[in-house]
Amino acid sequence: MGVVLLAALGLLVAGVFAVPSWRCELTGCEKPSRSKERPSGPATRTISPQAAATRGGYVALGDSYSAGVGVQTDGDGDDDGKGADEECLRHAAAFYHDVTRAFRFPGGSSFWACSGATTTEVLKGKDGRLPQTDRVSAKTSLVTLSIGGNDAGFTKVLTRCLAEVLMGSCRGQGDEIAERLDELAKSLPEVIGRITARAPNARVLVVGYPRMFSDDPKDGVATISEDDQRWLNERTREVDNVIKQSARNADRKLVKAGKRGSVEFIDAYNAFDGHETGTSQPYVNGLKFNLRALSAESRSFHPTEKGHRALARLVTKQIKEGPGRPFVVKS
């Protein structure tokens, strides 16, 4: 009888362990996870910052500092067959062209920066021209943008400073500039947001403005005193700070949302160090006065051709180095 009972017990134990779910309940073995049986999402891979910027097309947006007005001469417009017009004063020596020579863009490149552009005009267009933001798309992988100087009233400020002999120190414009910068801090994020919405995978490089005057001026430039040159440099830094903060905030939003693009600020404040207006080899024009028209030429206080080469070096360096984080794309 004992033998029979032992045999029956052995059969019972064997039967229990033959059923996987019972065996796991008794021994604590790991049950198969249903999640592991589900198909995984699309495969991804990490690419270099340069590869991320050059996967598609390149679009250059912005104002006169991108258009190349500083190397402009009368009747020296640039229509590259991509919608340029003389009113925008685009030039073949603008830094955009150096970027297109340095990298290959399988999606092509286009040049839409326009002299005098403000954030409003970039968003809404002007004089029948389409908004610059409409020029980017989901196929765009790189955007360069310089904007904000006209919103801050650079031309008005400089005109006042040049006329200070009659009007007194140009530093009396501080309150007006502060108000304009407050408005820029509201409008620039909208511009960047529109670009990133239309080109969600693009690297957007927002280029700041270089100071026009020596960091420690020794002489006056035109009618602008040494103190006013320092004051103007400080206003340039203020504009750059608004642009930098707007770019950083926009990039944080992209990261938080898990987007694959980026918004990167390029600090150009010291780009012309040692080559400011008034030096022996300036990268930025001083006052260029047209005696025949009795007015200042548009290229006054804008980067020269060498200035654009310096800006191009900053842009190409940023394209290669990136924002300091990996770019992930679908395999």
Q: Which amino acid is at 249?
A: N
H helices then E strands: how many in the chain?
12, 9
Instruction: Give the E-state strand segments of the chain in sequence order.
Output: 44-47, 57-62, 109-111, 140-146, 203-207, 262-266, 289-290, 295-296, 327-330
User: pLDDT tens for residues 144-188?
Assistant: 999 999 999 888 888 777 776 555 567 778 888 899 999 999 999
Smallest CA-to-CA distance from 275 within 209, 214, 208 is with: 214
The tokens describing 189, both together, are 């994020």
The yes-or-no verdict on residue 16 having pLDDT over 50 is no
User: pLDDT tens for residues 119-136?
Assistant: 999 999 988 899 999 999
User: pLDDT tens for residues 312-323?
Assistant: 999 999 999 999
The tokens describing 253, both together, are 């939003």
Report the distance separating Cα 75 and Cα 71, nearest Å: 12
The tokens describing 93, both together, are 């020596």
Sequence-separated (6 or more) residues with CB below 8 Å from residue 312:
95, 98, 99, 102
Share of the chain above pLDDT 70, in %: 77
Report the distance separating Cα 62 and Cα 127, nearest Å: 16
pTM: 0.82
Q: Write down how long the chain is.
A: 331
